[in-house]
Amino acid sequence: MTETLASDGPPNGDVGVGDEGDAPPQAAATMAAATGRRIRMRPNDTCGPRAIRRAGMIAAMPVRLSVVLLLVLGAACRSAAPLPTPAAVPAPPAATMPDSIRWVRDAAEYRAATLQAYRLATSAVEAAAAGRQAGSWAVVLDADETVLNNVTYQMERAQQGLPYSSESWAAWVRRREATPIPGAAAFLGRVRALGGRIAIVTNRLQSECADTAAVFERHQLAHDALLCRPDAGPSDKNPRFDAVASGRTPASATPVEIIAFVGDNILDFPRLSQQSALAGEAALAPFGTRFILLPNPMYGSWQPR
């Protein structure tokens, strides 16, 4: 490469900072100020063999000027650590990813936990369904983080440093890229084989219901009713639980007994809330038999509002 530190003094009066790259830009500015000469310098100029040759050239200058230049060059060499490039500035995604999301995405424990929950649900339903007539009973499941895994959405928001928003969530739903939670498909298939009806009660909005149904269809997730939240309606699921039980949904035109609820949020279970934790263990007694809980450390009604 060519010399890149030049004065505009005498013709061909380059001072001679070389292409080994020497002084960072701030050092060049200092040098210009000291000499009163305009200096043109490559961004990557640093210390090196060319700088040593340059030192020899400086020695041939008038004494005051060469002393100033050598002092400035020495300071530049001491501080010539590589400057960060724009590409190196953004933090790597893995470093900023919350452990809660990484756990759901990567941990063997997460997969084991969901499989364990669904095996428990299967055993409970098999026991409860014994002796019941086909079509006389039902199970109710939540959708997100119960049947559908949305960790990709969570990961993308974390990578962007952005929180949940209804707009970004709606865009995610339209992509139809949620995947089945491990164990869910087998459980739903088993319920259907046993003669149970399956109602999915979700707080995805009614306007998001068609895209949600498409995901269920794509992954062959058996169900009889997909009950979304009315767009301007309440998030409380209890009225929809009651509608299933009383035979007012596509799950059944006649009353059915709901023998199991499966969810990842305490609000996926009838008449429970975060306050239920304060009511003693008796309030949570159905868990492990009629109520089956899946892990979700990423979000939920446990978070402060």
User: Residue count at the site for Mg ion (CB under 5 A)?
Assistant: 4
Cβ neighbours of residue 10 closer than 8 Å, sequence gap 6 or more: none
Distance of CA 87 to the CA centre of its chain: 22
Taking the complex as a whole, the smallest distance from the CB of residue 240 to Mg ion amounts, in Å, to 14
Range 113-142, binding Mg ion (CB under 5 A): 142
Longest dimension (CA), the chain: 107
22 versus 142: smaller Cβ distance to Mg ion: 142
208: contact with Mg ion by CB under 5 A = no
Closer CB to Mg ion, 19 or 287, in the complex: 287
Contact positions with Mg ion (CB under 5 A) in 256-285: 264
Q: Rounded to whole angstroms, how far apart are CA atoms 166 and 142?
A: 19
Between 286 and 295, name the residue whose CB sits nearer to Mg ion.
295
Please, what is the minimum distance in Å from the beta carbon of residue 146 to Mg ion? 5
User: CA torsion sign, 45 to 50 to 52 to 58?
Assistant: negative
Q: Which is nearer to Mg ion, 45 or 142 (CB)?
A: 142
Q: In angstroms, rounded to a whole number, what is the distance separating the alpha carbons of residues 194 and 183?
A: 17
Nearer to Mg ion, 39 or 260 (CB): 260
The answer to whether 22 contacts Mg ion (rule: CB under 5 A) is no
- Least Å distance between CB 265 and Mg ion? 5
- Helix, strand, or coil here: 251? coil
CB of 264 to Mg ion, least distance (A): 4
Q: Looking at 47, 145, 244, 266, which residue binds Mg ion (CB under 5 A)?
A: 145
Tell me how far apart the alpha carbons of residues 262 and 117 are, in angstroms, rounded to a whole number.
Answer: 9
CB 141 within 8 A of CB 201: yes
Q: Which residue is nearest to Mg ion (CB)?
A: 144
51 or 298: CB nearest Mg ion: 298
H helix runs in 36-183, sequence order:
49-59, 63-78, 93-96, 99-106, 108-129, 151-159, 166-175
Shortest Å distance, C-beta 279 to Mg ion: 22
Whole-number minimum distance, CB 212 to Mg ion, in Å?
Answer: 12
CB of 145 to Mg ion, least distance (A): 4
- How far apart are the C-alpha atoms of 137 and 285, rounded to whole Å? 21
144 binds Mg ion (CB under 5 A): yes
Distance CA(295)–CA(110), nearest Å, equals: 8
In this structure, the chain runs to a length of: 305
Q: How far is residue 276's CA from residue 284's CA, in Å, rounded to a whole number? A: 7
H/E stretch holding 204 reads: strand 197-205
Q: In this complex, which beta carbon is closest to Mg ion, that of residue 150 or of residue 249?
A: 150
Nearer to Mg ion, 46 or 265 (CB): 265
Task: Sketch the per residue contact string, 71 through 110, with Mg ion: x for CB under 5 A, - otherwise.
Answer: ----------------------------------------
Which residue do the tokens 């990961």 mark?
A: 155
Q: What is the nearest approach in angstroms of Mg ion to the Cβ of residue 143?
A: 6
Which spans of this chain sit near Mg ion (rule: CB under 5 A)? Answer: 142, 144-145, 264
